[in-house]
Structure 1
Amino acid sequence: MPSLLTAVKSKMFIAAHRKARGMLDGEYASVFRGHSLDFDDLRAYVPGDAVRDIDWKASARVGAPLIKRYVATRRQQVLFVADTGRNMAALAKGGESKKDIAVMVIGVIGTLALNHGDSVSLIHGDERGTQAMPAQGTESHLETLLRRVDSTAVLTAGQSSLSAQLEYAASHVKRHTLMVVLADDEQINARSAKVLRRLAAQHEILWIHIEDAELAGVDALAGVSYDVADFSPVLSALAGDPELARDYAYAVAERSNRRSEVLRSNRIAMAGIGHTEQVMGRIFALLERHRRAR
């Protein structure tokens, strides 16, 4: 069976040249900066590095800016909290399955984590229940996480219930983590908003929502497509109806505004991704926003 992690790394290599990958690596390193870190050595400055980490004396000696590198005095943990209900088996904005984008996101951030000696873990599920996979720091474990998301986010899964996965994390995860939430492009309800306040007080949270396919782009067999949440029919022909299009656009905007309001109030950086080609750039921007907000 082909390796999902190998496929992710291949896309990372194609999507970004070496300098860009180095910048992404630097942004990841900044996430835990200030949390039990000790000075290690110096390296050349690359765009995106924090100015506060420049060693000015050493830079003056060599005539080029040098950055202080740190190592964690204890291993850090990256926890992925993923919706693997049937919503994630639907098509994303770019026409791919949402779970394919989720796998790419976990693979990219997971690879950054392993490169820094950090461990990765996973909490996922649907309305039927939650499953947790413990933290480990190996590529074989990351591959297992990717396969778990890929195999469980299917049309026969239960309805999506991100609130249940967040509540499980709040009840079971006590150690400070970088928590990466992978959500369907849904509104954050009162239940999720409540638990997010608890989680944000203890953890560093990055929120990634996988964007829905646009109604105007629906092209289903025999003119009929289905909402995977409840399998209700959606007539593709209605996508061209101006009144329906206005109502749909209004509902999407309201959902987006509500999500942004909740996340901003909890100082949670967020990004929307609609295609795997956007993953590298959106993750870099997300990490940068997180760093600037701290």
Structure 2
Amino acid sequence: MSSVSVRKKIEALGTQMSLPTVRKALGVLEGEHASGRRGGGGDVMDMRAYEPGDESRLIDWKTSARQGRPMVVQRERLSTSRVWLLMDVGREMTGICPSGEQAYEVAANALRMFAALSMRRADDISLVFGDESSITRIPFNGGFAQFERTLDTALRRNWNHGRNIDALLEYARRIKDHEALIVLATDEHAMAERHIIQ
């Protein structure tokens, strides 16, 4: 599968967010805690009659009793509000996957997916690259197209240095926002048993 077709699928994901399974996945992905944004804390945005396919947990029982029929309360989406996308850019990521793509291309597509979901929720995104020579936070502001340009530009690099997964994990540990979503994109060989926290 070409990187262009993968990108089209990721972009199309933004139009499918109303599907119940995607909504459920987003709930798991984002965790349900108060947003730091104005109007956060799950403020009521809309009430409407229950429709088949709605999640039963969204039924407001007090309102339903007053109305004499099941009513669904739609609240402001509770969000993480900051997403950190960390990517291993050691030369090991130039290896070829069974799909024929280089590992860094697969990792970049995973980050594109998380960025698309996060932008849909208006989360702030930080993009961080790391290898044995340095850890670099890449400035990013804008929409999905700008994210792709930023990521693509950053991936046009010399892949001369090995990985330093310990440094990336330490960077993640030092992120002070304990409610942020942190994504580490690497290959299956990067993590050792000592990296797994029990």
- TM-score w.r.t. the length of structure 1 is 0.51
What is aligned with 1:101?
106
Per-residue deviation at 1:130? 0.8
What is aligned with 2:192?
189
What is aligned with 1:116?
121
Unaligned runs of 5+ in 1: 194-261, 266-294
Per-residue deviation at 1:64? 6.6
1:32 counterpart = 2:37: no
Per-residue deviation at 1:77? 0.7
Pairing of 1:1-294 with structure 2 (within 5 A):
8-12=6-10, 18=16, 23-30=21-28, 31-36=30-35, 37-39=41-43, 40-42=45-47, 51-56=56-61, 66=72, 68-72=74-78, 76-134=81-139, 136=141, 138-148=143-153, 150-152=155-157, 156-171=159-174, 173-176=175-178, 177-186=180-189, 188-189=191-192, 193=195, 262=196, 265=198
Q: Secondary structure at the match of 1:184?
A: coil
Q: Secondary structure at the match of 1:27?
A: helix
More helix by share: 1
Q: CA RMSD in A?
A: 3.7
Unaligned runs of 5+ in 2: 36-40
Identity, in percent, stands at 23
**Offset from partner CA, 1:233-256 (integer Å, 9 cap, x none):** xxxxxxxxxxxxxxxxxxxxxxxx
Does the 8 Å CA contact 2:95/2:102 hold for their aligned counterparts?
Answer: yes
Aligned length: 186
Does the 8 Å CA contact 2:172/2:182 hold for their aligned counterparts?
Answer: no
Q: Distance in 2 between matches of 1:17 and 1:117?
A: 15
Query: Which letter maps to 1:33?
Result: E
Q: Distance in 1 between matches of 2:145 and 2:192?
A: 36
Q: Secondary structure at the match of 2:85?
A: strand
Per-residue deviation at 1:69? 2.6
1:187–1:125 distance in 2 versus 1, CA, 3 Å: closer
Per-residue deviation at 1:127? 0.9
Does the 8 Å CA contact 2:104/2:186 hold for their aligned counterparts?
Answer: no
**Offset from partner CA, 1:97-142 (integer Å, 9 cap, x none):** 2122112111111111111111111111211111112464533542
Does the 8 Å CA contact 1:85/1:158 hold for their aligned counterparts?
Answer: yes
Does the 8 Å CA contact 1:56/1:65 hold for their aligned counterparts?
Answer: yes
1:42–1:79 distance in 2 versus 1, CA, 3 Å: farther
Per-residue deviation at 1:17? 8.6
1:29–1:90 distance in 2 versus 1, CA, 3 Å: same
Query: Which letter maps to 1:70?
Result: E
Query: Which letter maps to 1:88?
Result: M
What is aligned with 2:38?
none
Does the 8 Å CA contact 2:82/2:125 hold for their aligned counterparts?
Answer: yes
- TM-score w.r.t. the length of structure 2 is 0.71
**Offset from partner CA, 1:242-294 (integer Å, 9 cap, x none):** xxxxxxxxxxxxxxxxxxxx26x3xxxxxxxxxxxxxxxxxxxxxxxxxxxxx
Q: Secondary structure at the match of 2:129?
A: strand
1:18–1:189 distance in 2 versus 1, CA, 3 Å: closer
More strand by share: 1
1:188–1:13 distance in 2 versus 1, CA, 3 Å: closer
1:38–1:17 distance in 2 versus 1, CA, 3 Å: closer
Q: Return the structure number with greater relative CO, CA threshold 8 A, min gap 6.
A: 2
Q: Distance in 2 between matches of 1:91 and 1:46?
A: 46
